[in-house]
């Protein structure tokens, strides 16, 4: 398991902080791959565990009003517009390393995923997903601490 405590996090303007500063709940501000006004939550605990969920604001509603009875189009919209995973985290310099225990994108199960250009300034957390699960260009994500 990856240890989160005692590892240095370099935040903007040369200010050094520890991974303990990530502990808490964060809400999604911006993620290009999830359209305008994406929804999401990112939670870090003090023992090195995290959970992550993100979704488009315009996910399809299911005509059957039952998530197990969606149409192919409804399922496609849900899969393309949402992602969730959890596991352990560590910080190394300006990299956030996520060990994925389980994900809605099962190809990531048991893998380490790196997020780069990590910065924490005040209540704003930023990093870049260099290899998005849906393909495409690296995606910068911005989160705001929930108070």
What local confidence, expressed as pLDDT, does residue 17 receive? 57
The phi, psi pair for 109, rounded to 5°, reads -55, 130
Q: Give me the residue spans of the domains in the chain.
A: 8-53+83-145
What local confidence, expressed as pLDDT, does residue 20 receive? 84
Does the pTM surpass 0.85? The reply is yes
What local confidence, expressed as pLDDT, does residue 12 receive? 42
What local confidence, expressed as pLDDT, does residue 16 receive? 31
What local confidence, expressed as pLDDT, does residue 19 receive? 80
Q: Report whether 44 contacts 22 (CB < 8 A).
A: yes
What local confidence, expressed as pLDDT, does residue 21 receive? 85
Fold entry, domain 8-53+83-145: Lipocalin (2.40.128)
Give me the residues of the chain with pLDDT under 70, please.
Answer: 1-17
For the stretch 13-35, pLDDT in tens is: 333 357 888 999 999 999 999 99
Give every CB contact of residue 81 below 8 A, 6+ residues apart in sequence.
34, 35, 55, 56, 58, 59
């Amino acid at each position: 398991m990856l240890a989160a405590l005692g590892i240095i996090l370099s935040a903007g303007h040369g200010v050094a902080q520890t991974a303990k500063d990530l502990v808490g709940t964060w809400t999604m501000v911006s993620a290009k791959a999830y359209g305008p006004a994406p929804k999401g939550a990112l939670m870090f605990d003090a023992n090195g565990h995290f959970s992550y969920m993100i979704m488009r604001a315009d996910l399809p509603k299911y005509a059957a009003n039952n998530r197990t009875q969606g149409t192919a189009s409804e399922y496609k919209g849900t899969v393309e517009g949402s992602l969730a995973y959890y596991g352990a985290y560590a910080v190394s310099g300006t990299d956030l390393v996520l060990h994925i225990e389980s994900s809605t994108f099962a190809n990531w199960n048991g893998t380490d995923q790196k997020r780069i250009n990590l910065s924490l300034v005040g209540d704003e957390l930023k990093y870049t997903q260099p290899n998005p699960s849906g393909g495409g260009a690296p995606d910068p994500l911005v989160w705001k601490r929930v108070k």
